[in-house]
Structure 1
Amino acid sequence: MMRVDMWTDVACPWCYIGREHFSRGLAAFAHRDQVEVRHRSFELNPQAENGTVPIIDAVAAQYGRTREQQVAREEQAAAMANAVGLEFRVGGRVFGNTFDVYRLSHFAGTRGLQGKLLDLAFRVNFAEEASIYDRETLVGVGVEAGLGEAEVREVLDNPDAFAEEVRSDERLAAELGTGGVPFFVLDRSYGVSGVQSPEAFTQALERAWADRPAA
């Protein structure tokens, strides 16, 4: 098996698109059935308070942009998402940190449901513009992914549950020099960053596969 480690933040529009591009690139890879995808946690804004500040205003202030400039970036992301069949609404998301989302994702991973939960979280955030920082929304995501409601609430009620798993992913990202997401490591050797095309992902997978040590 060849492993792909994928760092994303559910709050990141480029991760939403990059995941889909990678999925398409993987689908075109001849050895796709021999690839294990490992989802890794990353918080772009770990110190952010979960609240009601509109994402456009918060990110514009964070990066010194005008509101109009940030809206244009959102519209650019929406166009890229729409081009690969992803729904993306502009303007309704709020700002926060995704620590609890990733804690829950690691719990979902113990049931083989991590990828599904993250797919749903991305959809809820970008296509539905429901707040992934809202407890009840996140409970609904967990249940839709196939987890029991009581166990989802138990994980979310305990701030230490799966916290170390999230921190471990983030420490590894820091050790690798990862400054942003999406970020992919193929076969523990090849780093691919940003929203690459599906074809670029396929080519990177082929290169990593060809360079694997002989058995």
Structure 2
Amino acid sequence: MPADLKIDFVSDVSCPWCAIGLASLELALRRLQGEVRAQVHVQPFELNPGLAPGGEDITEHLTRKYGSTREQQAAARDAIRERGAAVGFEFRKEGRDRVYNTFDAHRLLHWAGLQDPARQQALKKALFAAYFTQGRSPEEHEVLVDAAVAAGLEPAAAREVLASGAYAQEVRQQEQFYLQAGIHAVPAVVINDRHLISGGQPPEVFEQALRQLAGAAA
């Protein structure tokens, strides 16, 4: 009998390492079929909750936040693109133009999770693809609705969620829960509410950790 694991994937849709981490986790879970039966829940984290509508130029943002130069950012972008390709996720060669507020995306993800965790995970992947592969803004409601459709969710219901401001309180509560639990960087993968795997790890790291936890659970 496979071991049942609850996995909370804490992340932001504007975080490239989160896109890598989710792809790596999914690859590890495919390798563990028959050993592990996991349900993945996407949880909210905002890297830049204070961004104004329209976002900020990505080069200016990274320079202000990390003190990095254009050359350093270009090298990091190349490394991220290579890591993504290794796990089947495509990053645009030119990278991102801007960084955006992602709160509405998290509200939509919360709603999706109430419908079906599998569709929530599919929505998360569609949002990553919209931003990092297609260069679209995760702030724009039509982009979010298109991602919902790609995940098999009802577009009219998605538009209603976005227009109404629904689930704002629930998202903020979840964000505070993980901050108070000590999570200040993402991705953070929490297994069975107890075990933490930090960062966009390679699939082999997730595979080994999940196999060990599944054995302990058994």
- TM-score strictly above 0.5: yes
Partner of 2:111: 107
1:184 equivalenced with 2:193 (yes/no): no
Q: Is the 8 A contact 1:52 1:94 kept in 2?
A: yes
1:194 aligns with 2:199: yes
The 2-side partners of 1:148 and 1:126 are apart by 23
Q: Which amino acid counterpart does residue 107 of structure 1 have in structure 2?
A: W
Aligned mates of 1:130, 1:121 — CA distance in 2: 9
Could you give the per-residue CA deviations for residues 67-102 of structure 1, whole angstroms, max 9, x where no partner exists? 221222112111111222211013343211211001
The match for 1:123 among 121, 125, 129 is 129
Q: Is residue 50 of structure 2 the alignment partner of residue 25 of structure 1?
A: no
Return structure 1 stretches of 4+ with deviation > 6 angstroms: none
CA distance in 1, matches of 2:164, 2:193: 32
* Partners of 2:55 and 2:101 within 8 A in 1: no
Whichever residue aligns with residue 161 of structure 2, its letter is V
Shift of 1:33: 5.3
Distance in 2 between residues matched to 1:206 and 1:195, nearest whole Å: 18
Whichever residue aligns with residue 98 of structure 2, its letter is V
| Pair 1:47 & 2:50 matched | yes
Q: Does structure 2 retain, via aligned residues, the 8 Å contact 1:9–1:98?
A: yes
Of the candidates 135, 141, 145, which is equivalent to residue 135 of structure 1?
141
State the shift of 1:143 in Å.
2.4
Name the % identity.
37
What is the CA-CA distance between 1:105 and the residue it aligns to?
0.9
Normalising by the residue count of structure 1, what TM-score does the alignment of the two structures yield? Answer: 0.91
The alignment's TM-score, normalised by the length of structure 2, stands at: 0.90
1:1-215 paired onto structure 2 within 5 Å: 1-31=4-34, 34-51=37-54, 53-89=56-92, 90-112=94-116, 113-159=119-165, 161-212=166-217
How far apart in 2 are the matches of 1:34 and 1:91? Answer: 35
Shift of 1:4: 0.9
CA–CA distance in 2 between the matches of 1:55 and 1:129? 12
User: Cα RMSD over matched residues?
Assistant: 1.7
